[in-house]
Amino acid sequence: MRDKGLNKNRKFNIRFIPLCVIYAAACVFFFIKLINIQITGADRYVKTMSLSHEREVVVQSLRGEIYDRNGVPLVTNEYTENLQLDYASLPKGLKERNETLSQIINVLKENGREVITVMPVTGTYPHIKYDEEALKSQTAQNRMYRFLLYHNIRTGVNCLDFYEELLNDFGLVDSEGEHIYDSETEDKIVRLRYSLDATNFAADNPYVIAENIDLPLTTAVLESGCKGVSVKKEYKRKYNVPGVGSNIIGRIGKIPEEKMEEYLAKGYSYDGVTGLSGAEAAFEEILRGENGITVYVEDDYGNILESYVKKEPVPGKNVYLTIDINLQAQAEKLLEEQIKIIKADGIASGQQNRGEKADSGALTVTSVNTGQVLALASYPTYDLSTFSEDYETIVQNPAKPLFDRSISGTYQPGSTFKLATTIAALMSNTITPNTTINDTGHYTFYPDYQPWCWKRDGHGPVDLIDAIGVSCNYYFYETGRRTGIETLNKYCKQLGLGEYTGIELPEKKGILAGPEYKETMGKRWYSGDTLAAAIGQSDNSFTPLQLSSYIATAVNGGTRYKSTVLLKTCNYSGSDEEVNAPQILGTVDMDETCVDCVKRGMRRSKELTTTTKNYKFPIGSKTGTAQTSQTNNNAVFVAFAPYDAPEISISCVIENGSTGTLAAAPVLKTISFYYGLDNNGNPLKS
């Protein structure tokens, strides 16, 4: 029995010998294979790795958003997807590149889209010509010059010869001169190839061929297998209060060609955006954030092997403006309405200088005790949300909607200047509040310059307060002569007239009339010039914001605050606030008596002026009629409110507005809106 069992075991082991041999052979095979991969195949692995390369792509940071003083969102971000060409993965050979571009062009065409190009040529070959309108742009000229230089094409070449050279350079005709593509595809390839070379297409500067693409187009592009094209997620600005405050908010856009080197040195990419105007430009360093970097490892065929984030993007900070957007909207509306009323009435009168030419103006509102700007209305204006579509209409408008009259327009102040003359005369002890001067109508102190009061038969004996109230020219001719231009200008400068207000937006300095300015013009200052300057004429010319700041300084006791549109900033998440504290630019040497005289004079003016005397809310105001020619006057009006404890100062200028009283209505209505009153200055009925 025992021997039989042993025989059975022996037979069992013999059957498994072939399996063991096969198993052993398999182990040897895989062992050799492993050695081959790790050792023998090492050179091939190294060769494969050597064919890969890294490509850095800038990850756009989120731009900070813009809000008004009450937290109302003015400009926010919304995401969009753009289709772009990537230099590194686009085929390099002429034939391969043209085939790829043709494929991309056709995919876009099938989805109802056109490739974005910048070639300044109109028509189709051979009936083509340079686009002269496009070439008026400095950017287009710079691009053309760069392209001609790069392709070694002489400047001044006619359009047809230029185009035919490109057909050869781009490999779009064969050795026998036959065209490879149909005319439509050929034209689009030429324009796209031009655009790439003219805009510095490079690894760090991709070219956007379609903006704001939808899901079907994205899918079609990805499924087409086109090399060198990718979808990039970006943000665009969303304007939440369209058409309001456009001059304050400003625009963003591609970096101007002439400033590219400057921006590259600051860390911007070639395809970066920057603030071009308004707050977007003024607070660029706050809003811009820091771009990130993603690294793509690719093989020579453009296949992505791996990617990693080299630097995380940092969002920009949010900016809160001092502007009250509701007040801004109302100021713009009231200004526009009044200009149209003045013009219509002027035309209906059938007479000259009745406002028939009124077509533009500005209205500003500032905080008397901080310098914060609450509203800057300029008319005509434009809508940021449709700027691109409306561009041609905007730039061709003779009234210049892009020109911000509130801070860049300079105007003679007219009789609103008499308050500065009052301050200079009182504080230099030239006159007292009780000084009475007999206005005979014709001022004859100088034999060679004898101006008239606006009331030809004179106002008779008037004291200071009544002189301001009735805006007596004669009184201020005499007061200006006694005070002297040096003393007058000393106080004017302290009040900020002819000085920058300090606002962060581009502003004009204005002109303060006097010997100093005359010298810059190579002219002499005469005694008679002082008389004209004392009533706001001569060379005096100030911005509407300067007028608001000047009135604020005069009624707050002499503290001149820096004008500002920046309230505070905070992180994109809303934390870490930094408040922009009021800044004092200087002080005016004026006592309480002087301040009281200015206020009383403006109250008297309000009481005597037809358009303001029935306004119930306590304010001070002053009209100004500034003659710009023999047949045209600008309407100027300034005010502060409330009378006892001034909080806001307002100025309004209407070009060709005929008379200062006609600029009063939008100011009074703005005050009413701010304080919740009806148009007559009465509390609204509940």
For the stretch 86-134, pLDDT in tens is: 888 898 889 999 999 999 999 999 999 999 999 999 999 999 999 998 8
274 in any annotated domain: no
Across the chain, which distance is largest between two alpha carbons, in Å? 159
CATH number of the domain at 379, please: 3.40.710.10
Q: Which domain holds residue 362?
A: 325-388+396-675
In a domain, 614, yes or no: yes
What is d(CA 271, CA 672) in angstroms, rounded to the nearest whole number? 47
Which pLDDT tens digit goes with each residue over 320-341? 999 999 999 999 999 999 999 9
Higher per-residue confidence, 308 vs 672: 672
Q: Are residues 127 and 45 in the same domain?
A: no
Q: If you average pLDDT over residues 567-582, what whole number do you get?
A: 94
Last residue of a domain, one of 143, 169, 198: 198
> Is 374 domain-assigned?
yes
How many CA atoms within 13 Å lie on the side-chain side of 146?
17
Residues 29 and 133 in one domain: no
Between these two residues, 29 and 379, which has the higher pLDDT value?
Answer: 379
pLDDT over 80 (residue 48): no
Domain assignment present for 55: no
Q: Do the strands 127-130 and 437-439 form a parallel or antiparallel pair, or are they unpaired? A: unpaired
Q: What DSSP character marks residue 643? A: S
Residues 37 and 128 placed together within one structural domain of the fold: no
CA 472/CA 422 separation, integer angstroms: 12
Position 367 in a domain: yes
Provide mean pLDDT across the span 588-601.
Answer: 97
Q: Give mean pLDDT, residues 568-585.
A: 94
**Do 539 and 660 fall within a single domain?**
yes
pLDDT at 15: 58
Q: Do residues 655 and 360 make contact, with C-beta atoms less than 8 angstroms apart?
A: yes
Across all residues in the chain, what is the average pLDDT? Answer: 91
Q: Alpha helices, DSSP H only, in 535-676?
A: 544-555, 592-608, 664-675
Q: Choose one of 50, 67, 87: the last residue of a domain.
A: 50
- Domain assignment present for residue 205? The answer is no
Has residue 69 been placed in a domain?
Answer: no
**41 pLDDT more than 70:** no
Q: Do residues 443 and 477 lie in contact, with contact meaning Cβ atoms separated by under 8 Å? A: yes
Which of 11-20, 26-35, 304-313, 507-516 bottoms out in mean pLDDT, i.e. has the lowest?
11-20
How many structural domains compose the chain? 3
- Residues 159 and 35 placed together within one structural domain of the fold: no
pTM given for the model: 0.83
Buried b (16+ CB within 10 A) or exposed e, 254-276: ebebeebeebeeeebbbbbbbbe
